[in-house]
A = this chain, B = another copy of it.
Amino acid sequence: MAQAPIPVLVNGAAGKMGREVVKAVAQAEDMTLLGAIDKSPEHMDKDAGELAGIEALEVPITDQFEPMLALASQERQQAVMVDFTHPSSIYNNIRSAIAYGVRPVVGTTGLSPEQIQDLAEFADKASTGCLIIPNFSIGMVLLQQAAIAASQHFDHVEIIELHHNQKADAPSGTAIQTAEMLAEMGKAFNPALVEETEKLPGARGGLAQEGIRIHSIRLPGLIAHQEVIFGAAGQVYTLRHDTSDRACYMPGVLLAIRKVLQLKSLVYGLEKIM
């Protein structure tokens, strides 16, 4: 007998990421879209599928969060709530979902360490899986894991990240995170052979931890790209990730929906379930 499909609630279903999730869940054979929640009045009662640019799914956008959790809790198959809402609401959203026995998969960032700790205890007590995933890009996690492996054998590394020129911050959060992961290896990278002189201040990039330099390129036409370049005598080893569309996060979202059903506690980070 075939497994019944996983019932999925999408919270924030009218947002950019929410629409992608609606589409991905609708197209996954082992899932069914149970509900589509969003607080923005302009999309109320629209069909979630049509809003996402696919066929009608007969699932209207609603702002009735708790009733949807109650509905989901009555499904015979364990239900999952995917949350791409707002930093200010996710703490309560997660607690409510767990209280109803619905398993949260949360992509919104902004929880404090204390909040995460508190939610972890709450999930533990309820023996309910809960996934908090700041970055759903499987490709970026693979790049970071490959970079960590390489850093055990290479002493020299620099990071280049390239983004469209509407991005205000430099370096990107992901580049900073990558440098932090490498820095945790506990070694000083890029021991200098010569005393460097910057004829233009900043030419050598921004200095992150442990001697790792990050260079940020901003140009229209670029989307979101990161390179980690390792060098040693006679060789260069480069890892590059290019993102061109939010669709790239969906394999990670679907993986998280499947995995959260097997968990009995809170887990943080996509790398933990890959």
B149 touches A230 (CB 8 A): no
Minimum CB–CB distance from A85 to chain B (whole Å) comes to 22
Extra contacts, 18 of them, besides A146-B149, A233-B250 (Cβ < 8 A), are A139-B153, A157-B219, A158-B218, A160-B215, A165-B190, A168-B195, A170-B199, A202-B204, A202-B205, A205-B217, A219-B230, A220-B233, A233-B247, A234-B246, A234-B249, A235-B244, A235-B248, A239-B239
Confirm or deny: A269 has a beta carbon within 8 angstroms of a beta carbon on chain B.
no
Q: Which residues of B contact A274 (CB under 8 A)?
A: 153
> With A and B bound together, what is the CA distance between A170 and B237 in angstroms?
22
Which of under 10, 10 to 19, 20 to 34, or 35 or more describes the interface residues of A? Answer: 35 or more
- Can you tell how many copies of this chain the complex includes? 4
- Bound-state CA distance A249–B232 (Å) is 10
Q: Which residues of B lie under 8 Å from residue A200 when comparing CB positions?
A: 170-171, 176, 205-208, 214
Q: For A146, give the chain B residue with the smallest CB separation.
A: B146
A242 x B235 contact (CB < 8 A): yes
Interface string of A216-233 (1 = CB under 8 A from B): 111111110000011111
CB-based contact B231/A222 at 8 Å: yes
Residues of chain B within 8 A (CB-CB) of A240 are 236-240
- CB-CB under 8 A from A167, the residues of chain B are 194
Question: Counting CB contacts under 8 A, is A29 at the interface?
Answer: no
A42 on the B face (CB < 8 A): no
